Amino acid sequence: MKANRCRNPIIVVDDLYVNFYTYAGVVKAIDGVSFCIERGETYCLVGETGCGKSVTSRALTRLILPPGKIERGRILYYPEPGKVVDIMKLSEEELRMIRGDEITYIFQDPGTALDPLYTIGYQISETMLVHGYINKIRKGVSRAIQLLKETLIPDPEQRIKSYPHELSGGMKQRAVIATSLANRPRLIIADEPTTALDATVQAQIMELLRNLKKKRGLTILLITHNMGLVAEMCDRVGVMYAGQLVEEAPTEELFRNPLHPYTRALLRAVPNPLRRIEKLESIPGTVPNLIYPPAGCRFHPRCAHVMDTCKRQKPELTRIGNKHYVSCWLYSRR
């Protein structure tokens, strides 16, 4: 299996394909993505809007709603070292029992992630109820208070009685994080958890996630397009472009030595935390339409180093250095 680049993985994704069947045509949203997440690390997926980061993260528990469909690929989940669950072979009910219990999600916009008609406490308790940890909503109250305490919400005894609209955006996101901690999470998938929040709250939420991870021994998959967050939070980074994983490296290595032309362009387009840039550049061209994706390497129409092979054949993800992988014909020794 080519994807297993990890020594002690919690999740391994191998050759994943996801399509969306829209009226306009079939959107080939994920095109042969393979990666793995090491137990206890923070893995980042970065890329522009629409590059398939979110879809990939949702596919981990097959949370792809129609018209989307996982075409093929393998997803292996290792709840404990040596124990393996084949996500693709699970029934709906077995998947349901994993979602929100062992693998939990934090969504982008806390303003819409919670049901506006129920209290925070009710919704946290309900998350425990549907996984059978409690048998009545009322029995979840004390644990809900404790979870709100853990996510540093002031006055948790009162806050569990609050409705979502009575809380600020940051508080709502803390409540969402509390639901993701309610059961016995091993992997938390944070899908742009701070995009909808302002900068100070953003820093607080990331600090909270970092501390929770340390305290609870969690693994985090962080999805973001914020390079600053990547540098601050992540152990390893996967760079996605148009549904493909184009480069993967430990964070420092990626910032110091980006290889893929897209990664390089991306880093020139944002302030780099490691070196001084005179001018922020933009990447020429636009993101391709994934109904008719470019043949071969999907980046080739925008690439400054395009060669003939790029237009015909899709480059494989190849190991270049220690834990550094890139899928680009410039680096393939063939």
Partner 1 sequence: MVDLRRFLIRRLITFIPTLIGATLLVYFVAAVVPGNPAKLWAGGEKASAEVVQRIIEEYKLDEPWYVQYYYFMKMLLTGKAISPVTHTNVWAEVLDRFKTVTLPLTMLSFMFIILIGIPLGIISAIKKDTVVDMILRIFALTGISMPIFWLAYLLIAALTGKGLVTLAGFPMPAYSITGIPLIDGLLKGDFEYLSQLLKRLWLPSLLLSYAGIGVLVRLVRNSFLDAYSSDFVEFMLARGFPRRRIYIHVLRNALAPIVTVLGLQFGGLLAGAVITETIFGLPGMGSYMIRAINNFDYLSLMAGVLYVAIIFMVVNLVVDILYAIIDPRVRY
Q: Give the interface with partner 1 as residue ranges (CB under 8 A).
A: 58, 61, 63, 65, 95-101, 104-105, 107, 109, 112-118, 126-127, 130-131, 163, 165, 176, 179-180
Q: How far is the CB of 77 from partner 1 (least distance, A)?
A: 14
> Of 63 and 88, which CB lies nearer to partner 1 in the complex structure?
63
> Of 98 and 245, which CB lies nearer to partner 1 in the complex structure?
98
Burial of 178: CB neighbours in 10 Å, binned 0-12, 13-18, 19+: buried
Q: How far is the CB of 125 from partner 1 (least distance, A)?
A: 12
> Of 125 and 251, which CB lies nearer to partner 1 in the complex structure?
125
Q: How many CB atoms lie within 10 A of CB 136?
A: 9
**CB-based contact 144:151 (threshold 8 Å):** no
**How far is it, in rounded angstroms, from Cα 276 to Cα 224?**
22
Q: How far is the CB of 130 from partner 1 (least distance, A)?
A: 5
> Of 17 and 163, which CB lies nearer to partner 1 in the complex structure?
163
> Of 37 and 239, which CB lies nearer to partner 1 in the complex structure?
37
In sequence order, the 6+-apart residues with CB closer than 8 A to the CB of 132 are: none
Q: How far is the CB of 223 from partner 1 (least distance, A)?
A: 13
Q: How far is the CB of 50 from partner 1 (least distance, A)?
A: 18
Give the DSSP H or E segment for 212: helix 199-216
Q: How far is the CB of 111 from partner 1 (least distance, A)?
A: 9
β pairing state of 187-191 and 103-106: parallel
β-bridge mates for residue 106, sequence order: 190
**CB-based contact 35:100 (threshold 8 Å):** no
Q: How far is the CB of 169 from partner 1 (least distance, A)?
A: 14
Q: How many CB atoms lie within 10 A of CB 291?
A: 14
> Of 162 and 272, which CB lies nearer to partner 1 in the complex structure?
162
Spatial strand order in the sheet of 25-38: 25-38, 9-22, 68-77, 85-86
> Of 184 and 305, which CB lies nearer to partner 1 in the complex structure?
184
Distances (CA, A) of 297 to 16, 46, 249, 288, 330: 16, 18, 19, 11, 12
**How far is it, in rounded angstroms, from Cα 151 to Cα 215?**
12
Token pair 């840039």 in the structure block, residue: 277
| Token pair in block for residue 315 | 């480059």
> Of 64 and 88, which CB lies nearer to partner 1 in the complex structure?
64
Q: Evaluate the CA torsion angle 141, 146, 148, 153 in order and state its sign.
A: positive
Q: How far is the CB of 182 from partner 1 (least distance, A)?
A: 8
